Amino acid sequence: MWLDGAWRGSEQVREILSPYTGKRAALADEASPEQTGRAVAAAAEAFPKTRALSRHARSRLLSAMAGGIESRRKEFVELMVREAGKPATLADAEVSRAVTTFTGAAEEAKRFGGEVVPVDTDPAGRAFEPALSFWVPRGPVLAITPFNFPLNLVAHKVAPALAVGAPVLVKPAPQAPGPAALLAAVFAEAAAATADSREAVPLAALQVVSCPNGAAGAAVADRRLATLSFTGSAAVGWMLQGRAVGKKVCLELGGNAAVVVHSDADLARAAARCAAGAFAYAGQICISVQRIFVQRSVAAKFRKLLLAETAKLGVGDPGDPKTVVGPLIDAAAADRVLSWIAEARGHGAKVLCGGTRRGNVIAPTVLAGARPDARVTCEEVFGPVAALYEYRDFEEAVSRVNASRYGLQAGVFTDSHRLVQRAAAGLEVGAVLVNEVPSYRADPMPYGGVKDSGLGREGVRYAMEEYCERRTVLTWRG
């Protein structure tokens, strides 16, 4: 683990198993409670130094980290395939996204400033100069990240924190801590390469400490860490919010993303995108397509197209460049997904394809007729399962999409500008994607949800704002 500016071992070493082969993929040091406490203290002690760094120094560091990630592309891909079971082509795309994330943060670090606020709009304000309102970092960030994007979701917390001058303590997912540790190596090299006689980035600006999920409670409650940024399940996220007293809390939680396919849509494109959006990486993405609502007049045609596109997807070994649908993260996850499919079938759902298992790999599964209260439709399945439904008119589709406790993203396929506007106004989600599936995320955009899908927004600039607070300076003219 990368702790207080150096690599440290631990008395507790944990074996990480490949989700695909079940064999040992890696060994990971697990931090003791004392080491976790030391990481918190080191982050707090680094804060006066990181917030004093010039924007130039922060930008140089982040640019160097982008280059370092690119130079270690192959290593990152191999780690994600081995530890997370991520198909190699998707892992390679994740590396590209992480490079983009750090490059964007390097650019934002230069221009992230503030604004001039006229105060003479109030008669009493005529005695004052225009106010200056600008961003200052709250303090160290605790970043708790999931297994499914073990590099880029770490990047989406680390890069904005470093851009604003906030130290960051990363607790990566125990299933796949390797990419975060390799990112720490990239950070150490970049910090050394960008140091000059005037200023240097403190090596304690980043800590990467792996520990069991339940062992992070002390850090969550420690007020020396000013912000908690968590990506994971809704149940865990809201529980952590209750423990994070006195902190700014950013939660990117679950979803059961829906797509609406209207009769005027390009059905072939919609089917191809829905198949990829539902089943890539075995559906282990919080914005994977889980519910598909198709207007009744084109439902039969769309169903045929969707099943044909699903059949084209490569399934199996994540190391095979043709694979799109790899294994679930572990046997327990595969057991749960199959039990939810069986539950839906027991209540009348029809399996149009899939529903079978080999090891931790579940074949892409399309259901028809699943009840709205089936867990495969009303909860986050986090597996390769999509449920098809028909609707009469657009208002019904919007209402059924909204009949969920989640609200992360939704997709709408239509050529009608009028319907797009109605979707944008009526869908209770953080983002509406038009003629695209909700599984797509552009890294610079504001990203986050409503309802049980979380609080706050990611996306480099928006996360920078979450990690800061406004400070205003008002000067009397005299």
Residues with a catalytic annotation lie at 252, 286
- Element (H or E) spanning 325, and its range? strand 323-325
Strands (E), 49-201: 114-117, 131-137, 141-144, 168-171
Rounded to 10 degrees, what is the CA torsion of 348, 350, 356, 360?
-70
Tokens (6 digits) for 265: 């849509």
d(CA 43, CA 51): 12
Q: Are 210 and 1 in contact (CB under 8 A)?
A: yes
Packed helices 299-311 and 267-279: angle between N→C axes, nearest 10 degrees: 50
- For residues 386-404, b (16+ Cβ closer than 10 Å) or e, as one string? bbbbbbeebeebbebbeeb
CB atoms within 10 A of CB 448: 23
- Element (H or E) spanning 292, and its range? strand 291-295
Task: For residue 205, give the DSSP letter.
Answer: G
